[in-house]
Copies of this chain bind each other. A is one copy, B any other.
Amino acid sequence: MATDCKHCPLRRKDLFAPMTAEDVASMQRFKVGELVVDAGTPILMEGSNSPQLFTALHGMGLRYRHLENGERQVISFVFPGDFLGLQAGVMGEMGHSVEATTKMTLCVFDRRELWTYIKADPERGFELAWLAAVEEHFLGETLTTVGQRTAMQAVAWALIRIYLRLEASGSDGGGQFRFPFKQRDLADALGLSLVHTNKTIAQLKSRQLIGWEGDLVQIPDLEALAEVGLTTLNRPKTRPIM
């Protein structure tokens, strides 16, 4: 029994653009169902052309690519509200894989209906571009991190960004958040080795800039950590939800 878009828990969060009743109704028609997957389940494959598109409702996951030699680059972490499969939806081929890191609930859309949906409601096309632009924006920032920040700056930057993202979508706050990923995932996201990432985290801990036990990350002083990460505490901009 799927969640009714009308009662979607995400829509009300600050991060997401408000929708009219008609918007909700048309989205509801587009939605074909809900998918629940266990942790570790692959959702989309690089190079594939999935017949289905998704919006993450609960749970978290990873977007990643593999190099020919087996090295993995984590493109981004997937949080509730993120849209999955856009590349397959418009280009016909995914540039990365997506897999669930925790148990996840996903709203499912039919790729074939996407064009019908947009034709009926041109604003959805605009919003699709908007979503893609948000991703592009974030990837540019990530690229800058991996290319220019030191390990210490990169880890600090990443934790700040993740905290702000989760805070804005309402799942966490108060200077701490649940982070179900492993140090290996963070290392692969930042282009660092696991060992060096671990030592960097240890330093941040010993400097009292963060706490990290199990899946709970704490940031006692956001300003201080942001400064280490050469970044600011700008809240993520509002975005649409599909």
Contact = CB atoms under 8 A, between A and B. Distances in A.
Interface in A155-204: 188-191
A147 B131 CA distance: 24
Given A67-B148, A132-B136, A133-B132, A142 B143 contact: yes
A75 B143 contact: yes
Q: Which of A122, A188, A230 has the most chain B CB atoms closer than 10 A to its own CB?
A: A122
A91 interface: yes
Interface in A71-130: 71-73, 75, 86-87, 89-93, 95-96, 115, 118-119, 122-126, 128-130
B128 A118 contact: no
11 contacts: A73-B143, A73-B144, A91-B237, A95-B137, A95-B140, A118-B122, A135-B136, A139-B140, A139-B143, A142-B143, A147-B191
A134 interface: yes
A223 interface: no
A47 to B, nearest CB: 10
A94 to B, nearest CB: 9
Given A73-B148, A140-B139, A134 B91 contact: yes
A149 interface: yes
Contacts of A191: 146-148
B136 A87 contact: yes
Nearest to A122: B122
A75 B139 CA distance: 9
Contacts of A92: 237
A161 to B, nearest CB: 13
Contact of A126 (B87, B96, B128, B230): B128
Contact of A133 (B91, B122, B144): B91
Contacts of A75: 140, 143-144
A87 B133 contact: yes
Nearest to A231: B68
A141 interface: yes
A13 interface: no
A190 B73 CA distance: 15
Contact of A90 (B91, B126, B231): B126
